[in-house]
Amino acid sequence: MFRIAAVRGARAFALRAARPTLLPPARFQRFESTLPESEKRTPEKRTPEELLKAAQDLRDELQKDWDAKVLTYEELLPKTQSPSPDSYLIDVREPEEVVQGMIPSAVNLPLSVLANSLHLAPDVFKAKHGFEKPKKGQELTFYCRSGMRSTSASDVAKRNGYTNVLNYKGSWLEWVGKGGEMAK
């Protein structure tokens, strides 16, 4: 008797589970353009070239505030020969990579700890990294091995309120390739 009740209960459950449940219809709100009809250019009315140009313009507009100025080897060289106390040259490679050498006057602040370190109190930052925490308006120049991590570091710094951010995209490989001096 118990077995019959269990089988009937399982069948009823299976039937209920197999039935699709009806969801209320989705509601969408449509917003109309305030442009006059003559100025409206819907995607259907645009040529592929116009659509591509619009997408590129939008991308450039969104990126312009985040892209750091890119330095060349020739622009960085004088900064390493006579460093300014108001600027930092930051190597964002990991410590095991820095063993190969560094650009003179650079300090090491790995990308893996950069975002968290920028939130530290100045005294904690100095104790952890061995140099003063950069101020929001100070010039920060980032470099890495090949330019990818320095671009990310520039973005992290900008997102954390640093305004004078530069990126040496040629990075360590270009520096060594052009015969730049090495610091150990």
Q: Report the DSSP pairing between strands 165-167 and 69-70.
A: parallel
* Residue from 89, 118, 144, 157 carrying the catalytic annotation: 144
Amino acid at 51: L
149, 99 in Cβ contact below 8 A? Answer: no
Q: Would residue 144 show up in a list of annotated catalytic residues for this protein?
A: yes
d(CA 144, CA 47): 42
Nearest C-alpha neighbor of 154 from the set 88, 96, 100, 97: 88
Nearest C-alpha neighbor of 143 from the set 135, 183, 64: 183
Quick one: residue 21, left, alpha or beta (phi over 0 = left, psi -120 to 50 = alpha)? beta
180, 138 in Cβ contact below 8 A? Answer: no
Catalytic amino acids? 144
